[in-house]
Amino acid sequence: MAAATAGTVTPAATADSPNGTFQQVAGFGANPGNLAMYTYTPAGLPTGAPLVVALHGCLQTASDYYQHSGWAKFADLYGFTVVFPQTGSTNNSLSCFSWFDAAKDARGVGEAASVAQMVAKAESLYGSDGHRVFVTGLSAGGGLAADLLADYPDVFAGGAIDSGLPAHCATTQSAASGCQNGDQGLTPAQWGDKVRSADPGYSGPWPRVAVWQGTSDTVVRPVNATELRDQWTNVWGLAQSPTSSRSLPAGTTEELYADPSGRPAVAVYSVAGMGHGLAVDPGSGADQCGASGSYFLSTICSSYYTAQFWGLTGGGPTTPGLPAPAGLTASAGGPDSIALSWQPVSGAASYQVFRDGATAGTTTGTSFTDTGLAAGTSYTYTVAAVDASGTQGTKSAAVTASTSGSAPQCFTDNNYDQVQAGRATQSGGLTYALGSGQSMGLWNIFVTHTLRQTGPGYYVLADGQC
């Protein structure tokens, strides 16, 4: 990569926008990831404006992403700077960002550190607002964007992963294809732990994350969007069921997962029939953007809806006044309870405790014991302070703890074998769970159910729950 004089900016050979300039910036730091930095800044942009980092996909360049993604249009319209990092064949034969390499995508090292240095440089050059920095990326760029959100939650207020991967899904290149193509079989808490362990000791607030995925993507399979949803809803301490959904153009479904204040923390956009690429919608309409091309697919303008989700269009909801309680800890209190404690929040009249995203109880103190739980089972908790008016503040970082004892056993088998094993009975050609008597359907080898044993000789239906 050619080096320019430290601290200078050099206009790139690509065409400039009529309202600003796309240019290379040199001397942005030690650059351990061997990346190049390009920026687009609208003419006359005042200080204190937001900053967006946009990461290209494999076989692409910063210039490709600048010209096709639509981010320059919205930088002009809404007033923010865009940083376009660029990798190349020296780093990866396909010019992919190294989202799968633990030596390059972790806090303080490699490409992740280089991007963080670019953010600091842009803030210095353009006076960007350090509290409104966002990162987005396509494919491998999306994978690195997810890693950056986990590595630097203190830097990025939000992110968007387009046809990308969960944060730190793979730590070696050999494991990358497995992440792209298959379900990793991790629970939401295990996915969330990958984020929490990326910057140990960080307790929030967490970035707000949008996920974009085509249903016909065969390069990064749609299961990655589900895993991303599980990962970031767990980090936020939310359930995996959307609080709202709506239909958007081009067969797109938007699912929102709101925090307790009602503000969306996670959004999942599923584009029906779209393959692998960034969703764009060329045209001059307010909700149109970009240019079609290789891996830029003419469907819907994802950059427009992402900017809305981040609140860059103005009029976005504000963060609740009371901060998140710090120092939340959880430990087993026995086979049916978990004890929690946290540090007090000034101005709090009470605290609301959430278990797996649902309210578990309230207390006026800084400790709480959750009872009536299943033995040997893991639960994820968050806590929020509530002021005297009843307004709930920001949720704490999530913690996970398990009750003591052994978890109830589960058995998945066809109805015939369930009866043969003594976990069910049959009568009149139908099958019933032993003890609970729940109907399981026809007594044959073609109908399969999962049964959970909750006591001696007592089984209940638990399909999809074990």
**pLDDT number for residue 57:** 97
pLDDT-derived band at 402 (thresholds 50, 70, 90) equals confident
Q: What is the mean pLDDT of residues 211-236?
A: 97
pLDDT-derived band at 7 (thresholds 50, 70, 90) equals very low
Q: Mean pLDDT in the chain?
A: 89
pLDDT in tens, 250-274: 999 999 999 988 899 999 999 999 9
Report the distance separating Cα 166 and Cα 195, nearest Å. Answer: 9
What CA–CA distances, in Å, run from 381 to 52, 60, 109, 240, 243? 32, 41, 31, 14, 19
pLDDT in tens, 51-67: 999 999 999 999 999 99
What CA–CA distances, in Å, run from 218 to 141, 153, 227, 272? 17, 30, 16, 13
pLDDT in tens, 375-398: 878 888 888 888 887 777 777 877
Q: What is the mean pLDDT of residues 105-109?
A: 95
**pLDDT number for residue 115:** 97
pLDDT-derived band at 310 (thresholds 50, 70, 90) equals very high
- Residue 361: how many CB atoms within 10 A of its CB? 14
Q: What is the mean pLDDT of residues 199-221?
A: 95
**pTM for the structure as a whole:** 0.67
CATH class of domain segment(s) 329-402: mainly beta
Does residue 139 carry a catalytic annotation? yes
Report the distance separating Cα 124 and Cα 128, nearest Å. Answer: 7
Between 70-74, 165-169, 231-235, 285-289, the lowest mean confidence (pLDDT) is in 285-289
- 329-402 shares the fold of 9-310: no
Which of the following is catalytic: 69, 95, 139, 302? 139
**pLDDT number for residue 228:** 98
pLDDT exceeds cutoff 60 at 193: yes
pLDDT exceeds cutoff 50 at 410: yes
DSSP code string of 418-448: HHHTTSEEEETTEEEETBT--EEEESSSS-E
pLDDT exceeds cutoff 90 at 163: yes
Q: Rounded to 5 degrees, what are φ and ψ at 87?
A: -105, 180
Decide: helix, strand or coil at residue 465. Answer: coil
Report the distance separating Cα 375 and Cα 402, nearest Å. Answer: 8
**pLDDT number for residue 433:** 92
Residue ranges per domain, the chain?
A: 9-310, 329-402, 410-461
**pLDDT number for residue 321:** 54
pLDDT exceeds cutoff 80 at 91: yes
pLDDT-derived band at 72 (thresholds 50, 70, 90) equals very high
Q: What is the mean pLDDT of residues 108-117?
A: 96
pLDDT exceeds cutoff 50 at 434: yes
Write the burial class of residue 174 (CB in 10 Å: 0-12 exposed, 13-18 middle, 19+ buried). Answer: exposed
**pLDDT number for residue 464:** 79
Name the CATH topology of 9-310.
Answer: Rossmann fold (3.40.50)
Report the distance separating Cα 134 and Cα 147, nearest Å. Answer: 13
**pLDDT number for residue 406:** 67
Q: Rounded to 5 degrees, what are φ and ψ at 55?
A: -105, 125
439 vs 7, which has greater pLDDT?
A: 439
Q: In what helix (H) or strand (E) does residue 299 lie, and over which residues does it extend?
A: none
Q: What is the mean pLDDT of residues 290-314?
A: 93
pLDDT-derived band at 12 (thresholds 50, 70, 90) equals very low
**pLDDT number for residue 407:** 64
Report the distance separating Cα 264 and Cα 259, nearest Å. Answer: 6
* Identity of the amino acid at 400: T
Tokens (6 digits) for 307 = 């900017």
